[in-house]
Amino acid sequence: MGRNFQKKRKRLGMKPKPQAPLGPDGKRDDWRNHKPYKDIVKENEKYWTFYKAQNLFPEDEWDAFCTALRTDLPVSFRVQGCHRDRDRLMHELETRFFIPIAQSKEADVDEPKPIAWYPGAYQTKMTRTSVRSHPILAHLHNFLVTEAELGHISRQEAVSMIPPLLLNPNEDHLVLDMCAAPGSKTAQLIEMMHENTSSPSGMLIANDVDKKRCYMLIHQTLKRFHTANCVVICEDAARMPVLKGKDDVPLKFDRVLCDVICSGDGTLRKNPEIWAKWTPQDGLGLHRMQLSIARRGALLLKTGGRMVYSTCSMNPIEDEAVVAQLIRESEGSLRLVDAHPLLPNLIALRGVFDKEMKLYEKPSDVPEPLQKIICSTCFPPSQEEAENMHLNYCMRIVPHHQDTGGFFVALLEKVEEKTLNGAAVVGAPAYKKQKMFKDEPFTFLKKDDDRWKDIRNHYGVKEDFEYENLFSRRLAENDANCRQLFFANSAVKDFVLRNMTSVSIQNAGMKMFSRNEQKVESTRFRLSQEGIRHLLPYLEKQVVQIDEEDMMKILKTEETMIPLESLSCKDAVRAQDAGSVVLYSDKASPVCTWVGFHTVAPYVSKEERVHMLRMMGVDCSEIEQMMKSKRKQKAAADRQAAWEAAEAEKTAQSESAQEHLDEKTSSLSVEETENGKGMRRELLGCGLSEDGQLGLGSRSAPCVRLPEQIVGAPLSSNGTSVTSIACGEKHTLILADDGKMWSVGGNEDGQLGRGSRGPGSFTIYPVSFSGGVEIIQVAAGRSHSLAVADDGRLFAWGSNEHGQLAMPAQVSWQDTPRFDKHTNPSAVTELMGSTVTRVACGRLLESVLSSLSCICGSFLYDDERRFLHEGRVFGVNLDDVMDTFVAIGESSDAAQYSDLIMEVLRLSLFVEDFDPSTITSVETLRVYLILVWFHGFTTNVGRETVSKLHLPFAESISRLRPALRNSLEKWWVVLPVRHFNRFVTTMMSAVRCLVKDKTSLSQARLNLFGFDLFIEQPFFDITVRRLHIDPDSHLVWFSGYDVVEDINYYKMVGILSGLAVYNSVLVDFPFPLALYKILLDQEPTLEDLTELSPVEGKSLQELLDYQGDDFELYVKHRLCTGRGGEVKRQSEAFRDGFKQVLNSRIVAFFQPRELMELVMGNENYDWSELRKKEQNISMKVIRLLFSRCQYELFGNHTCIAYGYIASFAALTFMV
């Protein structure tokens, strides 16, 4: 089911397991003694019993089946079917590697053999480890690594090549891969669509539910196989939304691949860790989900289209049972196609229809609590149904027939359009609320796009090139800051434009152009190697054909720059404009280069260089060996750096934690004491004890005020073995390091898990679980308990009065004197088949934000950082906060949750008599970091929401004592960008609401920190006049008046100007060119004075003709110094503010006019359009202050104050 609990225990708050420290080489000491796969006991009695009963093959093959499963999986790979060099690569493999291997006398070396049913695919009995480490195979391994990195060769399990072969898509087909990651089958489908053309008109949509797996898919498929006809989306395959096609008609597909998630019992040879944990229940838990995915795939299929359903499991419940139910629900619209004749050389078993179900003979025999797991579709069809379904057309591959893994595949065809009986109707996705993390938009080029005009003129692109299929991942059209342009075919473009707002599209198309940051006279976009083969036939400029000798020089050199003088084609290259130039000796292998005045630099990867040299007949063995050595060196350096960083962090955390742990107290704690034999751990407890919840063993006192040792806790050689504790209202759960759970306290609702309800217990006893599972986390509610097992199952027991246990409603306890299962730990059937990683309990799971301490304590780190709250450390895991509130906000009951949380806040933080100035502990301030993620701040914000939520929140912060407010500022400074952006978004949501009511702005006031923060028009009139505005040029210059307090004002204006540049915000500052010369430490000229003051320039016409040297002194004094040096002081203050934000050497590379355009943009404004969108001047300034300031740039908190003062000022524009 894919989750690695061992690596996530600490982060998820589960029971930690001791780990050895990192060694100097970055590897853990326990890794060196790690039990290798060959030492894993490859036995599982349940597995043998289950498959023995299925009778999948003749009984005399059973021993061969078992023997094959106990051996490692052979290595298999295939050569890209549509690659132009496919035949040469296969010839290289067979002559340079396979023949020497066959002639080798080494006993442990096996020659790769062709796979009979797949031309261009090979398999060897050697494992991946032996191929990678055997000295005779070193060059073969390097060859495979290099070509696999480029996508020319794919290392893929043999059986996983079968589904794309059965689908056999054409170049014009619409293909859907529903569960695509990691991408080997997706790449195979793309290759098949490219077999007869380099530019297929069809489209492949690759989907996966996990974004991380989508990134893996993009890297392993699209970054290696450059194609314009593939789209990667991230959706739940079982609930795939309706995708829009032409004319917004629901999109249907010619081919659909359903390679669903499964128990993976056919991959035992590749994943031997499955041996120890496989059970027959694995398939039962996945059956429903597999059926849901297959249903959705069938509904998205065209009439006449074909769908492959496949799993890497041999379990009939995951295989034929799903197919049978799908055909049953289709009522004749789907039929099975006999897949065996399509691959005649593949040895495969026919599908079965009489699978064994030992526990129950028919669905009605299944007990009601288990019917959600063992449903009626898990049972074999009747004899009559089986004859009509033709389940024998399915194909099952078993390991011992062809030395492969286990696999199942079924090929279905849609014969008529009909809704599946019982399938859930899936419509267009509901409107999704705005999130902090959203997919970047796709913006396609328009006909009048200036970027394309420059590109077309510079490269001489032909008119028939589909330039309107170029797009960028930026929101604004004609965006000058766009860094890359991608290309997609017409089918992909149409899909993206119609579905971009409703489907999570992760990637599409291939990169065609990249922005060049160097100063060049022509276009700033260079050609990309990824898309050059598609673009080359359309180029008429910047293309040079060179001879093979020059191409080899360019590819073989290790230098980044190659001197042009060393090439015989230098004259032809110099005849082109400087910049991006395509060089080729063979049009099938062009190389994008950057040509300067004296050098040429190729823009190709090392792997592609090696491949091109290999195709030119060069022996690349030494080059590949050097690349391998560098990879090893880099990996070793990365491990060393990781080890050093881990050691430094470990030291810092231990020192910091030691300072704070002594100041902390808790209800229950584990303490280590010295007793002469070393450190010994003890369990201490204090608090209420009237129901025995402290486990002290007697009714000594109803309340224990000082911590006392709990003697009945589980012990080990070093004292108590307790690793975590959960406290309910009257009971306590204790988890030991061996995975056993203990309980003590009240038991009126059976919350102790002892099989009955009744009086509580003052003595700690262990809790027994069915199956001997190991518990990794416990949680306690008021009168119910939860536990997570190491296999991902969730157990629950105790009171279910409010449905806390996710079990069917029962009669009240008073009316049920008989034994009830709720007093025993029972697995939650609703979650069977899911992997639970973390669990939490509330009192009744209806009031989880009842106090400030509850809010602040709900999201603390699980390690020592939870105790740190001084300086810039706040101890809260804000990512957990984000995940929790985002999940609440996306719930169908989000509105009810919002009302509940608002009511709780009204009774605690926002209560009228609550005085924030009485807060004495810095820890309480954590609530101000947590609450901004509450979805009520940004969802359906209206005047009532602002008055009841935003305003009380802002006022609560404004009334904090200065010392606490300063601590809060320090936390804001170090917030990650995503969390600070959330704070800004929260405040701005109120601003947007208040902007709609402009009549209230004149009455709005807020006194914050002793200042009236309302911004009025007269304020701007006075402020602007502090700068001198020339009546003729309308340009602003420094006043030169002797007003000392204005120096900070000029510095603030400089900071705002710098922030505008830093955040790529264009602001129409009416500054002359002379100001930007001063910023760049250049002397203004007489022309600058004329620009600033035309009248003064004309009156000094004779001065213009004066040939002496002293007139420059006048200009300098007039513009730079001023009367009494005031202009100099003011301009230096402005420059200090500007450079406080942009203190970088890069600024010095700009010319004054370039810097001016960077701040103001060009002068071709559409004023009519601007007037439509312009708000009043006060709101413009608020938005300016809300620019995405990177507060880490400042050494003081002045600008931080500007940010949140403006925020709260805007929030209090009350109606």
Task: Supply the residues annotated as catalytic.
Answer: 312
Residues in contact with 804: Cβ distance below 8 Å, sequence separation at least 6, in sequence order: 781, 784, 796, 798, 841, 844, 845
Residues in contact with 833: Cβ distance below 8 Å, sequence separation at least 6, in sequence order: 284, 285, 286, 287, 288, 289, 373
Q: Is 1161 annotated as a binding residue?
A: no
Of 1177, 1190, 1191, 1187, residue with least CA distance to 1207: 1187
Give the span between the Cα atoms of 984 and 1184, in whole angstroms.
Answer: 12
The alpha-carbon radius of gyration of the chain (Å, integer) is 36
- Residue 1 identity: M
Query: What sign does the dihedral 125-128-134-139 (CA atoms) show?
Result: positive
Structural element, H or E, at residue 49: helix 45-54
Q: Is 185 annotated as a binding residue?
A: yes
Query: Within 10 Å of residue 1132's Cβ, how many Cβ atoms?
Result: 17
Q: Is 841 annotated as a binding residue?
A: no
Q: Is 570 annotated as a binding residue?
A: no
Q: List, in sequence order, every residue forming a beta bridge with 413; answer none if it has no partner.
A: 306, 335
Give the span between the Cα atoms of 159 and 343, in whole angstroms.
Answer: 12
Q: Is 180 annotated as a binding residue?
A: yes
Instruction: Please name the residue that has the structure tokens 């051996």.
Output: 71
Q: Is 10 annotated as a binding residue?
A: no
Residues in contact with 806: Cβ distance below 8 Å, sequence separation at least 6, in sequence order: 796, 828, 830, 831
Q: List, in sequence order, every residue forming a beta bridge with 719; answer none if it has no partner.
A: 681, 716
CA distances (Å), origin 193, targets 48, 113, 156, 259: 41, 26, 19, 19
Q: Is 461 within 8 Å of 582 (Cβ atoms)?
A: no
Kindly give the interhelix angle for 320-330 and 281-299, rounded to the nearest 10 degrees.
40
Tokens (6 digits) for 1089? 């004075």
Q: Is 500 within 8 Å of 441 (Cβ atoms)?
A: yes
Q: Is 110 annotated as a binding residue?
A: no
The 8-class DSSP code of residue 698 comes to: S
Give the span between the Cα atoms of 470 and 446, in whole angstroms.
Answer: 9
Instruction: Please name the residue that has the structure tokens 């490692």.
Output: 72
Q: DSSP string spanning 328-370?
A: HHHTTSEEEE--GGGSTTS--EEP-S----SS-SSGGGS-GGG
Instruction: Please name the residue that has the structure tokens 């609560």.
Output: 956
Instruction: Please name the residue that has the structure tokens 């027994």.
Output: 768
Q: Is 182 annotated as a binding residue?
A: yes
The 8-class DSSP code of residue 143 comes to: H
Instruction: Please name the residue that has the structure tokens 């014969």.
Output: 415
Q: Is 662 annotated as a binding residue?
A: no
The 8-class DSSP code of residue 431 comes to: P
Of 724, 647, 732, 649, residue with least CA distance to 687: 732
Q: How many CA within 13 A on the CB side of residue 498?
A: 18
Give the span between the Cα atoms of 1200 and 872, in whole angstroms.
Answer: 14
> SS3 of 972, please?
helix
Give the span between the Cα atoms of 574 and 519, in whole angstroms.
Answer: 18
Give the span between the Cα atoms of 1180 and 120, in whole angstroms.
Answer: 65
> SS3 of 811, please?
coil
In a 10 Å sphere around its CB, with 0-12 CB exposed, 13-18 middle and 19+ buried, how is residue 787 labelled?
buried
Give the span between the Cα atoms of 315 and 338, in whole angstroms.
Answer: 20
Give the span between the Cα atoms of 316 and 313, in whole angstroms.
Answer: 8
Give the span between the Cα atoms of 381 and 323, in whole angstroms.
Answer: 11
Q: Is 737 annotated as a binding residue?
A: no
Q: Is 839 within 8 Å of 788 (Cβ atoms)?
A: yes
Known binding positions: 179-185, 208, 236, 259
Known binding positions for S-adenosyl-L-methionine: 179-185, 208, 236, 259
